[in-house]
Structure 1
Amino acid sequence: MNWITNYVRPKFSSLLGPRTVPDNLWIKCPETGEMVFHKDLEANQWVVPSSGFHMKIRANDRLKAFFDDGAYETVDLPEVATDPLKFRDSKRYTDRLKEYRAKTAMDDAVVVGKGSIHGLPIVATVQDFAFMGGSLGMAAGEAIIKGFEVALAEKKPLVLFSASGGARMQEGILSLMQLPRTTAALEMLKEAGLPYVVVLTNPTAGGVSASYAMLGDVHIAEPGAVIGFAGARVIEQTIREKLPDGFQRAEYLLEHGMVDMVVHRHDLKAKIASLLKIWMKSDIEALADSADAGSTEERAAPERVDAGAA
C-alpha cells in the first residue's frame, strides 16, 4: 500500500486540489466593480479599458510610458536624515520607512528622471502614492528641489506629476518647511523663463496642493482626480452644508477655473509636448529677435557717429 499512499495519492491531489492564484491577477475597477486582468490593465497604463477609470500608477511605470521609447535617466537624489525627530506612533518611523522601502523598492516618495517626449528634452518629477501616500517629507522635498535645480542647470522644461496626501506627520515642522523651500526653487525656474507644467493626479491634497502643485504655468488634471486642500468630509463638518456633487474632482475644478484642462492619461504625452514646443519655440524666437535687434543697433551706431563728425 506504500506506493498508493506515497505516489498515487499525491499525484491525484496535485491534479484535483486547489491551485494558488496570485492576489493581483485580477483587479476590481473602483467605479464599476468590473474585474480587469492585471496584464491588460498594465498594458493600458493602468486605465480601466471599459470605464476609463484612472487608477494609481507607480512612478517608474509612469516615466516609462511618458518618455520616448520608455528611455530615461534617473537623477541621483540627495541623502537626508532618516528620523530627525525620533518619531514613534504605533510603530517607529524608521520601521515604517524600512517597510515601505521593501514594499516599493524606492528610497522615498519622489523620482526624478531626464528624457525626451516627442524629441523635446525635459525633466520629469513624479510623486508615488504607494510610498506612504506620497507624503512630503525632507527626502521628498529635496528630490523635488533637485528636479528644479537640474532643469535650471540644463535649461530644460520641468513636468511634475503630483500624487500626495500632504505633509508627512512623522517629520513635523521639518516636513512643513519643504513647502516654502520647494516654492522658492520653482520661482528660480520661472525667473529663468523655463516652463513648469503640473499634472495633478489622484489624489493631490494637503500642503502639496497649497504650494508647488498649484503654482505651475499650466495645470493639467487627469480625469476623476481628487484635488483639494482639506477633505470633503472635513469641509462639510466645518461649514455644516452639503457639498455639490463631484466637489474637488478634476472636472469640477475645470468648470470653476482651478485647472486649465483635463486630459486622459493616454493623451498627456502628446498634449504636454505640443504645449512645450510652442512655448520653447516662442522663447527661442524672442532670443533670436533680441539678438538681431542688438546686431542692427551695433551696425547703425558707427553710421550715426560718422554723420555727426561730418
Structure 2
Amino acid sequence: MSRVSASTLLEQVLDGGTFSSWDTPPVDICPSSAYAAELRHAQQRTGMDEAVLTGEGRLRGRRVAVLACEFGFLAGSIGVAAGERLVQAVERATRERLPILAAPASGGTRMQEGTVAFLQMVKIAAALAAHKAALLPYLVYLRNPTTGGVLASWGSLGHLTLAEPRALIGFLGPRVYAALHGAPFPEGVQSAENLHAHGIVDAVVPPEQLAEIAGRALTVMTARSHLPAAAPSPEPESVAVRDVPAWDSVLASRRTGRPGVRQLLQTAATDVVPLAGTGQGEVDPGVVLALARFGDAPCVLLGQDRQGQSVEHPLGPEALRVARRGIRLASELALPLVTVIDTAGAALSQQAEEGGLAGEIARCLAELVTLRAPTVSLLLGEGAGGAALALVPADRVLAAQHGWLSPLPPEGASAIVHRDVTHAREMAAVQGVRSMDLAAAGIVDVVIGERCDAADEPVEFCQRVGRTLQRELAELTTEDPTQRTARRLQRYRHIGLKRRGTQPFAATGTSV
C-alpha cells in the first residue's frame, strides 16, 4: 500500500495554514562517516533533517501539538536526535497544556546507533507519562508500518488509539521474524483490522477522516476546561414513579424492546467516540466504552450492553477489564464517569474463574469508590449479581423505574432459600430490589419515571435519561473533588446501618 508522508498527513489533518514547526537542528551525535553519509542521503531524499517532525497547529480550531514520523527517512527509525526532538516537543506541549496528536510510522530503533538509540524509548515514555499526569490528552494514529520500540513506547500510550487501514502494526517486524525463525509471520495478525478486533486499536480510520474523529474526541476530552463555573442544568420532564410490584419491574427490565446503552448514546448523547476493548488484547461485546457528551457535560461512559450479552456469552472478566480501562481514562483525563448497569449476571464458568472474575469485581469496586473524578451510575435495566455491583459505586446513583439491583436474579435467590425457582416473585419483593426500595435504602438518589415502561417510549425515555445525566454531571463538576470523594466514601460506609444505632446515610431518593 502507498504511504502518506508526514507533511501530507499534517496538511490533511490540521486546519489549512496553521502548522508551525517546533524543530531545531538535531543534536550532534558524532556519527561514523558511513552513517553520516546515510543521514545526508536521507535528508536529500526527504527534505527533512531527521525522521520526526514536531510542531503545533489547529485541529477544528483547537490548538494541538503534533509528533509525526517520516518513514522515508531511514524507515522512520528513532535514534538519539529523533528521541530528543520528540521529548522536547512533549515537554513543551505539557508546559503549554496542549493535547498531543502523535502519528508514528517507523521500523523502530535506529540500528546504526545501537543500544543508546534503544534506550531513547524510556525517556519518550517518561515524558508522555508526565504529560498524561498533567491531565492532558494524548491521541495516537498508527500509520503503515509501526513496529518495534516505537510501537512498544509512544505508539501504545494513547488515551485513544486509531490506525490507518491495512497498516502493518506489530512488535517484531515480519522481515526480522522470517530471518530469525525461517518462516513467515502468520498472515493478517499484524494488521490494523486484526488489532482492532482484539481491542488494541480503538478504530481503523483513513487519513482523510482523522481530523473529524480526533476533533470529536478532543471536544469531549477538553470540555471540562471550558465549562462555565456553574453549567446550566435543565430540569428533566417529570414523570411519576408508580408503585408497582418488584416482579413487574423485573419482567419489564427483560422486555426485548427495552432501550439499552447503545440507544441511550444514539438518542441522548453527542460527540460520541466509541473505544474498543481493554487496549491490551481483550474485548467483550457485552460492554460499551465511549467518550460522549450529554448536553454540555462531557464524560467517559462505560455501560453493559443488553444486546451483546447472551446465555452463551454472559459478562466475563474481560468485560470488567474493559470497564477498568474506562475508570482509568476518567482518572487520567479528569473527566466525569458514567456507568450504565444492565446485566442478567456474570459468567459462571471455568474460563471466568480462571480469568479472575471475582478479582476484577473487587478491583472495579475499589477503583470506583476512590476515583477522584465525578461519578454517576445508572441502573438502566437488570442489575443481577457481582457484575452489576461492580459498576454501582458513584457520587450519584440513578435508576430507571424498572431498574433493579440484587445479589442474584430472583430465580437464583429463590433456589437458595426455597430450593426451587417458583418463589422468584416473592424473593424480588422481600429483598428490596426495585428502584423505589433502593431509593428508600439510600442506595439510589433519583428514580427516572417510565410511562408504563421504557419499551413503550424508547426515544422519549432515553431523552429523559440524557437530560437527567446532564443535570447530575453539571452539578457534580462544580463540587470540590476532595469533599466529593470523602462524601462518597461516607455514603457507602453507612449503607444498611439505619437500624443499628449508627448514624444512617440519609436517603435522598427523588423522581423525575
Tell whether 2:163 aligns with 1:251: no
- The amino acid that maps onto 2:8 is D
- The residue that corresponds to 1:153 in the other structure is 95
Which digits, 9 at most, give the CA deviation of each residue in 1:175-215, with x for residues without a partner? 01211010000001000000000100000011111111111
Other-structure match for 2:152 = 210
Asked whether the equivalents of residues 26 and 82 of structure 2 are also in contact (C-alpha less than 8 Å), the reply is: no
Aligned length: 237
SS of the equivalent of 1:165 reads coil
The correspondence for 1:75, drawn from 14, 17, 22, is 22
Corresponding position: 1:94 with 2:36:
yes
Query: Match for residue 54 of structure 2?
Result: 112
Identity %: 36
Question: 1:145–1:286: structure 2 CA closer, same or farther, 3 Å change rule?
Answer: farther
**Contact 1:167–1:207 (Cα < 8 Å) also in 2:** yes
Instruction: Tell me the residue number matched to 2:210.
Output: 268
State whether residues 178 and 184 of structure 2, in contact with CA within 8 Å, keep that contact through their aligned partners in structure 1: yes
- Code of the residue aligned with 1:262 in structure 2: it is V
Q: Distance in 2 between matches of 1:205 and 1:242?
A: 16
Aligned-partner Cα distance in 2 for 1:280–1:254: 25
Summarize deviations over 1:155-183 as a string: whole Å, max 9, x none. Answer: 11000000000100111122012110100
Which deviations, in whole Å up to 9, do the C-alpha atoms of 1:88-129 show, x marking residues without a partner? 6xxx00111111111111110111121111111100111000
Matched, 1:131 2:73: yes
Identify which of 160, 166, 184 aligns with 2:126: 184
Partner Cα distance (2:476, 2:21) in 1: 36
Of 137, 149, 166 in structure 2, the residue corresponding to residue 195 of structure 1 is 137
Partner of 2:470: none
Unaligned runs of 5+ in 2: 231-474, 484-512
SS at match of 2:101: strand
Offset of residue 56 of structure 1 = 1.1
Off by >4 Å, runs of 4+ in structure 1: 233-244, 283-292
Aligned-pair distance for 1:265? 1.2
Q: What's the CA shift for 1:71?
A: 2.3
Mapped to 2, the partners of 1:181 and 1:279 lie a distance apart of 25
Task: Please give the alpha-carbon distance, in whole angstroms, between the structure 1 residues aligned to 2:166 and 2:225.
Answer: 34
| Post-superposition CA distance 1:124-151 (Å, at most 9, x none) | 1110001000000111101111221121
RMSD, matched Cα: 2.4
Question: Does residue 141 in structure 1 map to residue 88 in structure 2?
Answer: no
SS, match of residue 48 in structure 2: coil
Asked if residue 219 in structure 1 is aligned to residue 161 in structure 2, the reply is yes
Unaligned runs of 5+ in 1: 1-29, 31-54, 298-310
Q: Distance in 1 between matches of 2:148 and 2:220?
A: 32
Label 1:115 to 1:236 Cα distance change in 2 as closer, same or farther (>3 A): same
287 and 220 in structure 1: CA distance in 2 versus 1, 3 angstrom threshold: farther
Q: Deviations over 1:216-247 (max 9, x none)?
A: 11110010000001123554676788755411
**Which whole-Å CA distance do the structure 1 matches of 2:40 and 2:149 have between them?**
25
| Distance verdict in 2 for CA 1:117–1:206, change over 3 Å | same
2:60 maps to amino acid: H
Deviates more, 1:239-248 or 1:159-168: 239-248
Residue of structure 2 in register with 1:231 after alignment:
173
Which residue identity lines up with residue 27 of structure 2 in the other structure?
V
- In the alignment, the residues of structure 1 paired with residue 141 and residue 155 of structure 2 have an alpha-carbon distance, to the nearest angstrom, of 8
Aligned to 1:3: none
In structure 2, the residue corresponding to 1:259 is in which secondary structure?
Answer: coil
Distance 2:77 2:178 in 1: 24
